[in-house]
Amino acid sequence: MKKLIVANWKMNPLSVKDAVALAKACDKKGVVICPPFPFILSVAKVLHNATLGAQDCAWEEGGAYTGEVSAVQLKDCGVKYVIIGHSERRRYFKENNAMVARKIAACVQAGLTPILCVGETQKEKEQGLRDTVIVRQVRGGLNGLPHPSPLLGKERGFGGSVIIAYEPVWAIGTGVSCAPEQAAQAHRIIRQTMNAKIPHLAEEIKVIYGGSVDASKAAGFLAQKEIDGLLVGGSSLKPEEFHKIFKIVSPV
């Protein structure tokens, strides 16, 4: 399975001009770029190799939901992947597993691939709750999908699947990342959970790692067979750093 690099720009940069420049600098095959909503169309125009992603979506398709953006609208703008349930959304906007599940279902229904983020907080880690939390978040996040889901899988014509991103909350934006072996262990738990939940698709589902990934740490994660790619925040805003990460996946 080819390893995937997802760039999560979060609420950066601050202008269309800078977003377009950053997109051009990071336009590589095998990369998914997730800009803020207002920059999506401008970024779409300059991408020739990378794939377009978004950072969130509404669970409804359309209607009176001020401030929301739907999966159907994103699809129409050329988006293929959507990050769902990022810990910053869970923390600052009080998203819970039930809301996440509805968003995942909306993405799949629209033919987009959701990137479901799961991971334990520092406190949960200290209490030895990592596995409990990630199993609950994976199961909860996929709860909106019929089982077995007729909407998932290329053979059904939706082209959609699901990606799970293991992002320990304590490692996000802190500079402290998880040890690759520890991450691989969490990925195994995630895969076991997926196997039980959607066995017919478990094989094609990527499980990627995120949390303070930079060029010096990327190789360690990518060397783990359980880790199918990376979700990169801060380092995706620095083209030079991002290139170094990209080169580990595609050396030529």
Residue 226 among the catalytic residues: no
Contact stretch for ligand PGA (CB under 6 A) within 63-71, 138-146, 165-173, 196-204: 165-173
Contact stretch for ligand PGA (CB under 6 A) within 16-24, 96-104, 134-142, 226-234: 226-234
Told to check if 211 binds ligand PGA by CB under 6 A, we report yes
CA dihedral sign, ordered 136, 138, 144, 150 = negative
Structure tokens given for 119: 């991971």
Q: Which is nearer to ligand PGA, 9 or 59 (CB)?
A: 9
Closest CA to 80 of 4, 179, 170, 161: 161
Contact stretch for ligand PGA (CB under 6 A) within 74-82, 137-145, 189-197, 229-237: 229-237
Catalytic residue among 86, 88, 95, 187: 86
Q: Which is nearer to ligand PGA, 137 or 235 (CB)?
A: 235
Q: Which is nearer to ligand PGA, 119 or 149 (CB)?
A: 119
Told to check if 234 binds ligand PGA by CB under 6 A, we report yes
| CA-derived radius of gyration, the chain | 17
Contact stretch for ligand PGA (CB under 6 A) within 131-139, 166-174, 217-225, 242-250: 166-174
Residues that contact ligand PGA, how many (by CB under 6 A): 13
CA dihedral sign, ordered 68, 73, 79, 85 = positive
Indicate which single residue of 4, 8, 9, 169 sits in contact with ligand PGA (rule: CB under 6 A).
8
Closest CA to 226 of 172, 190, 179: 190
Please, which residues have CB within 8 angstroms of residue 174's CB and are 6 or more apart in sequence?
211, 212
Residue 167 among the catalytic residues: yes
Q: Which is nearer to ligand PGA, 85 or 233 (CB)?
A: 233
Q: How far apart are CA 247 and CA 58, in angstroms?
A: 34
Residue with tokens 């300059």: 46
Residue 153: exposed, middle, or buried by beta-carbon count in 10 A (0-12, 13-18, 19+)? middle
- Paired residues of 114 in beta bridges: 82
**Least gap, CB of 84 to ligand PGA (angstroms):** 12
Q: Which is nearer to ligand PGA, 12 or 192 (CB)?
A: 12
Structure tokens given for 241: 């750093």
Catalytic residue among 88, 95, 167, 241: 167
Q: Which of residues 181-210 bind ligand PGA (CB under 6 A)?
A: 210
How far is residue 83 from each of residues 148, 187, 190, measured CA to CA in Å?
22, 18, 17
The residues of the shown chain that bind ligand PGA, judged by CB under 6 A, are 8, 167, 172-173, 210-213, 231-235
Annotated active-site positions, please? 86, 167
